[in-house]
């Protein structure tokens, strides 16, 4: 049944000329197959023991995290799926259908159609980076009581893997900045309910804490960088600019809810890039995929040309609740309009930066 679903998703990927499939019935792919209760995950001696190297377990961490925090997400709006966490399971689904979770070394069949399709390879740079934005926030949420009182959690780990943390204590020791920022986010979320701030300011403040935590996790995931050597130069360059783009999104306090995050993720490349792929002219990619890769590459090259100051300028321009609202609109235009002109972007940004 599960295998069938996955095969039809994969077939879909192939027939639509590699456009990434990230939604299934309006939800992240295979969502219906994930755990809706903690007790559906493995428990040994009263310790919850998910296996984050299984796609469905890792996706379950997101489902449980979203369900546990939704009652506190009131400031995000009245819709059903307004939590900024939605961006993460959507990304993980895209990584699966675009072939980014398979063993890139080809030494095992992990993640391949001929092996365990639900296996996330410990050699995948994408799977490694995502560990920091799935396992870390889940452990912090459990530690902060969001999954119920005193639920001890220990992640399963494949034999021979020693560089990834598996418990709250372990992760806090190895990645103190990321873990303390997730703690701050979850504590802020709990405190927001009683806060007298207007809803739009609460929302902006919570999204600020959320992105600080997500970026701290991203920086901590630099430990995955050795795994980049398994990929082609265009894939590494895309991976870098994809990661860099988070800086812009974070500074604008983007609300990565189900609807908005989907819009940004659908144009991401539906297959791993290979040598010779040059945006915006990559064979087999849709117009939107060609275009988003191209946008990423020019934003990177402007930043490089300006000696890294584009990001600083952007961060400076995102100086108030209103400025960040404008920034989010600008990002949408840049990423979703075909052939958006980089000069227009610089013009708008300069105006914004000087009006702070």
Ligand X SMILES: *[C@@H]1O[C@H](CO)[C@@H](O)[C@H](O)[C@H]1NC(C)=O
Binding site for ligand X (CB under 6 A): 244, 247, 281-283, 285-287, 290, 300, 303-304, 308, 311
State in angstroms the smallest separation of the CB of 273 from ligand X: 12
State in angstroms the smallest separation of the CB of 38 from ligand X: 37
State in angstroms the smallest separation of the CB of 286 from ligand X: 5
- DSSP-assigned beta bridge partners for residue 28: 23
State in angstroms the smallest separation of the CB of 13 from ligand X: 15
State in angstroms the smallest separation of the CB of 336 from ligand X: 15
State in angstroms the smallest separation of the CB of 234 from ligand X: 13
Q: Tell me how far CA of residue 36 lies from CA of 67, 133, 163, 170, in angstroms.
A: 8, 19, 29, 26
The answer to whether residues 121 and 101 touch, using CB atoms and an 8 Å cutoff, is yes
Q: 205 — phi, psi (to 5°)? A: -65, -45
Report the residue number whose CB is nearest to ligand X: 308
Which 8-state DSSP code applies to residue 122?
T
Give the nearer residue to ligand X in terms of CB position, either 91 or 172. Answer: 91
Give the nearer residue to ligand X in terms of CB position, either 9 or 282. Answer: 282
Query: 3-state DSSP helix/strand/coil percent for the chain, to nearest 5?
Result: 60, 5, 40
CA distance 182 to 165: 15
Long-range contacts of 209-213 (CB under 8 A, 24+ apart): 209/181, 209/184, 209/185, 210/84, 210/185, 211/249, 211/250, 211/251, 211/253, 211/254, 212/181, 212/184, 212/185, 212/250, 213/137, 213/178, 213/181, 213/182, 213/184, 213/185
For tokens 């995955």, the residue is 224
State in angstroms the smallest separation of the CB of 184 from ligand X: 23
Give the nearer residue to ligand X in terms of CB position, either 77 or 284. Answer: 284
State in angstroms the smallest separation of the CB of 12 from ligand X: 17
CA neighbor of 66 nearest in space, from 210, 243, 195: 210
Give the nearer residue to ligand X in terms of CB position, either 304 or 344. Answer: 304
- DSSP-assigned beta bridge partners for residue 24: 27
Give the nearer residue to ligand X in terms of CB position, either 21 or 146. Answer: 21
The answer to whether residues 34 and 60 touch, using CB atoms and an 8 Å cutoff, is yes
Give the nearer residue to ligand X in terms of CB position, either 259 or 283. Answer: 283
The alpha carbon of 310 is separated from its chain's Cα centroid by a whole number of angstroms, namely: 22
CA neighbor of 123 nearest in space, from 107, 147, 144, 140: 107
Give the nearer residue to ligand X in terms of CB position, either 204 or 300. Answer: 300
State in angstroms the smallest separation of the CB of 307 from ligand X: 6
Give the nearer residue to ligand X in terms of CB position, either 258 or 310. Answer: 310
Give the nearer residue to ligand X in terms of CB position, either 8 or 281. Answer: 281
């Amino acid at each position: 049944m599960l295998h069938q679903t996955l095969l039809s998703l994969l077939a879909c990927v192939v027939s639509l000329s590699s456009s990434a499939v990230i939604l299934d019935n309006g939800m992240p792919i295979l969502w219906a197959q994930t755990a809706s209760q903690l007790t559906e995950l493995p428990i040994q001696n009263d310790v919850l023991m998910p296996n984050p190297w299984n796609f469905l377990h890792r996706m379950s961490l997101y489902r449980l995290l979203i369900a546990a925090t939704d009652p506190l997400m009131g400031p995000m709006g009245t819709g059903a799926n307004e939590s900024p966490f939605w961006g993460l399971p959507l990304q993980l689904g895209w990584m699966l259908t675009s072939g980014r979770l398979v063993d890139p070394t080809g030494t095992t069949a992990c993640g391949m159609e001929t092996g365990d399709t639900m296996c996330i390879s410990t050699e995948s740079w994408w799977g490694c980076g995502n560990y920091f934005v799935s396992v870390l926030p889940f452990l912090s949420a459990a530690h902060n009581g969001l999954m119920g009182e005193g639920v001890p959690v220990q992640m399963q780990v494949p034999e021979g893997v020693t560089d990834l943390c598996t418990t709250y204590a372990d992760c806090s020791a190895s990645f103190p900045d990321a873990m303390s920022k997730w703690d701050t986010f979850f504590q802020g979320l709990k405190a927001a309910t009683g806060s007298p701030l207007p809803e739009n300011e609460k929302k902006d403040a919570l999204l600020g804490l959320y992105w600080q935590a997500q970026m701290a996790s991203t920086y901590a995931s630099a430990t995955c960088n050795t795994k980049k050597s398994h990929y082609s130069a265009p894939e590494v360059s895309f991976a870098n600019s994809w990661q860099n783009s988070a800086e812009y999104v974070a500074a604008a306090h983007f609300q990565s809810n189900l609807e908005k995050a989907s819009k940004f993720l659908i144009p991401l490349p539906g297959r791993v890039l290979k040598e010779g792929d040059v945006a915006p002219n990559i064979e087999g990619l849709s117009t939107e995929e060609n275009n988003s890769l191209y946008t990423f590459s020019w934003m990177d090259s402007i930043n490089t040309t300006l000696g890294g100051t584009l990001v600083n300028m952007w961060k400076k321009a995102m100086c108030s609740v209103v400025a960040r609202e404008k920034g989010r609109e600008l990002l949408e235009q840049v990423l979703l309009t075909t052939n958006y002109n980089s000069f227009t972007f610089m013009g708008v940004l300069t105006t914004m930066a000087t009006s702070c």
